Amino acid sequence: MNGAVKEFVHSIINTLESVLPSKEYIPLHEPEFSGREWEYVKDCLDSGWVSSVGAYVDRFEQMLCDYTGSPYAVAAVNGTAALHICLLLAGVKAGDEVLVPAATFIATANTVTYCNAIPHFVDVEERTLGLDPHKLNDYLKEISEFRRGICYNRLTGRPIRAVVPMHTFGHPVDLDPLQELCERYHLVMVEDAAESLGSLYKGQHTGTRGLVSSLSFNGNKTITTGGGGAILTNSKSIAKVAKHMTTQAKTPHRWEFNHDLIGYNYRMPNINAALGCAQLEQLPGFIEKKRNLARCYQVAFQDIPGIRFFTEPDFARSNYWLNVLILDEEFARERDNLLESTNNAGIMTRPLWTLMHKLSMYHDCPRMDLSVAEDLESRVINIPSSAYLGK
């Protein structure tokens, strides 16, 4: 690195250190267990109810409903499994295309493939880091046509069945114009809300606008059940089918094993739900601390040239799951130097995910112009975001 680059990198590290505590190593995001986790998990062990049936599963689902405002929640073994079921419930079939952002975690695209459908990659906007509904609308005007009331990609001849907005790093996608687009093109909206528990769009919790949505409670999420996820829906009938499908589609009987659908072993174990109940009790405090950390970062970086701290769009209240620095375009070439130097200094940072269309398994999938996603890929850096850092 030349002198100017070293000075730039040094200023970033100094700014991070001014916000973060003095520790040998600071992870990107780690869980906090400061509530009744031990008590609830021990209760599971003492009672023997540790598998996919138990009081904590029911309690966890009800707590999710109470917190998000969703009428129904179905706990699942992880967020990927939850999203897979969401797509099946949305009617995604083999040979369909599903619109997903190119800038997302790979599970969003993989679950489409699990349905034997084809991911169709769309661009994002810098304002939200998520799917750009206005650019997508212009694109669909060019490439879509209706056949018997179904939207088709006239370039491939395949139905376009659904769209999956992913609320990147907890920041809500602009859902109003996207919902209008879905109505215009007869698309089902499936929200990938894996990262946005605790985030609001115009006062409404994310994951409650689409037909179905998925949440994740992986170890690095705002709350954790170890592994775990959930399906949210406003429909009683869909929730009933979701619970049935995630339990191997077994029909109720005292001893016989009869199944009426292809089902999945996707239910959350009771012991994981016990951990989740204790975590959900602390969620408001976690969100408060994470938003406080974001404010500290925003103030610290406001006068640092060449880089800016990403803040929530004006229509949203974000959980700031992962905090984001965005390099100015002229400093994009220094991204890898900055990643290496911060990690060497004991401050874990990471880049944006490799864009989906750049992965070998998805290289030949249909896609629109992805210039914004490609630009952000070279400039986005995640910085430590654990709730305890915002105390």
Could you tell me if 265 and 290 lie in one domain?
Answer: no
pLDDT over 80 (residue 239)? yes
Nearest CA among 310, 263, 320, 313 for reference residue 289:
320
Any domain includes 372: no
Could you tell me if 298 and 229 lie in one domain?
Answer: no
Could you tell me if 289 and 199 lie in one domain?
Answer: no
H-assigned helices in the chain: 3-19, 37-47, 55-68, 79-89, 106-114, 133-143, 175-185, 236-245, 270-301, 335-344, 371-377
Domain boundary among 281, 302, 333: 281
pLDDT tens, residue by residue, 182-218: 999 999 999 999 999 999 999 999 999 999 999 999 9
Structure confidence at residue 1 (pLDDT): 64
Q: What percent of the chain has pLDDT over 90?
A: 94
Site of tokens 């629109």: 368
Structure confidence at residue 53 (pLDDT): 78
pLDDT band at 329 (very low <50, low <70, confident <90, very high): very high
pLDDT band at 50 (very low <50, low <70, confident <90, very high): confident
SS3 content of the chain, % helix, strand, coil (to 5): 40, 20, 40
Mean pLDDT across 157-171 = 98
Q: How far apart are CA 358 and CA 111, in angstroms?
A: 17
Q: Average pLDDT of the chain? A: 96
Structure confidence at residue 391 (pLDDT): 83
Could you tell me if 236 and 316 lie in one domain?
Answer: no
Any domain includes 270: yes
pLDDT band at 54 (very low <50, low <70, confident <90, very high): confident
pLDDT band at 376 (very low <50, low <70, confident <90, very high): very high
Structure confidence at residue 70 (pLDDT): 98
Could you tell me if 84 and 163 lie in one domain?
Answer: yes
Nearest CA among 201, 274, 250, 275 for reference residue 31:
275
Could you tell me if 188 and 73 lie in one domain?
Answer: yes
Mean pLDDT across 7-11 = 91
- The pTM assigned to this predicted structure is 0.96
pLDDT over 80 (residue 3)? no
Domain boundary among 256, 281, 306: 281
Domain boundary among 217, 250, 281: 281
Could you tell me if 89 and 73 lie in one domain?
Answer: yes
pLDDT over 70 (residue 134)? yes
pLDDT over 90 (residue 370)? yes
Mean pLDDT across 320-341 = 96
Structure confidence at residue 212 (pLDDT): 98
Any domain includes 259: yes
pLDDT tens, residue by residue, 68-115: 999 999 999 999 999 999 999 999 999 999 999 999 999 999 999 999
Structure confidence at residue 55 (pLDDT): 93
Q: What percent of the chain has pLDDT over 70?
A: 100
Indicate which CATH number applies to the domain containing 160: 3.40.640.10
CA atoms within 13 A on the CB side of 120: 23
Any domain includes 361: no
Structural domains counted in the chain: 2
Could you tell me if 276 and 263 lie in one domain?
Answer: yes
pLDDT band at 296 (very low <50, low <70, confident <90, very high): very high
Any domain includes 56: yes
Could you tell me if 291 and 273 lie in one domain?
Answer: no
Q: Which domain holds residue 311?
A: 3-32+282-354+380-390
